[in-house]
Amino acid sequence: MAVSSSNCHPTERCSLSRLAPLEAVLFDIDGTLCDSDPLHYLAFREMLLEIGYNGGIPIDEEFFVKNIAGKHNPDICRAILPDWAMEKALKFIDDKEAMFRRLATEQVKPIDGLHKLCKWIKDHGLKRAAVTNAPRENAELMISILGLSDFFDVVIIGSECERAKPFPEPYLKGLEALKASPNRSFVFEDSASGIKAGVAAGMPVVGLPTRNPEHVLNEAGAAFLIKDYHDPKLWSVLEELDSEAVGTTA
């Protein structure tokens, strides 16, 4: 049975109090900072129609979530264009990314409550990283559109690591760049791939079911789910972290 976003994951506690005093917060970008997956879906649907993919039948959102969302571009190539040479497939993906950036410039909006959370993080002097499988050009565009260019201390790109998500290397690289401990850090993610990466890097992951099914995020190991950054459950957890931090310094 799917676990509602109002409940904890059955094998985890909602509390993150063991992380106090908190050092760092790490974020995915697509679907986590902004609801950009519909634009990725539109770009892929249109580009695949142009090459007559699936007999000219447009891909649906279920196909997108299963084969594309949250995945590293070379893995997407292998999943949806297995008969193509990798160089040709990656060129197709590059063209799709260019279409996405054109769409994103006018249409990307932050997840509700994002700037409230970012203010809390800044006010607490926490380190922060963006960690994504998106190309750097996409990542930096998203961050700029959202007005967060000065917020992140570092932006980690999956393709610039030895292995991208779902492997832990991007998050481990983020921790290393921030000089932060996984025992004092946590992650926000919206995909199973990203949640698995964060958990494998030794951190609890707060999941946002922006476009992916809740049960998929829970099965990937999310500590708990929130509907957005206004979710009272998130703020209850942050208040608890504050209280624990005061206790550790008293």
**Which residues are known catalytic residues?**
28, 30
Number of other CB atoms surrounding residue 9 within 10 Å: 20
- Cβ-defined contacts of 175-181 (< 8 Å, 24+): 175/24, 175/26, 175/129, 175/201, 177/129, 177/153, 178/23, 178/24, 178/127, 178/128, 178/129, 178/153, 178/154, 179/127, 180/23, 180/24, 180/127, 181/23
Taking only Cα atoms into account, the Rg of the chain, rounded to an integer number of angstroms, comes to 18
Phi, psi for residue 24 in degrees, rounded to 5: -150, 155
| Euclidean distance between CA atoms 159 and 3, whole angstroms | 32
Number of other CB atoms surrounding residue 128 within 10 Å: 20
| Euclidean distance between CA atoms 165 and 79, whole angstroms | 15
User: Strand locations in the chain, DSSP E?
Assistant: 24-27, 127-132, 154-157, 185-189, 205-207, 224-225
The candidate with the shortest Cα–Cα distance to 25, out of 104, 117, 95, is 117
Residue 174 amino acid letter:
G
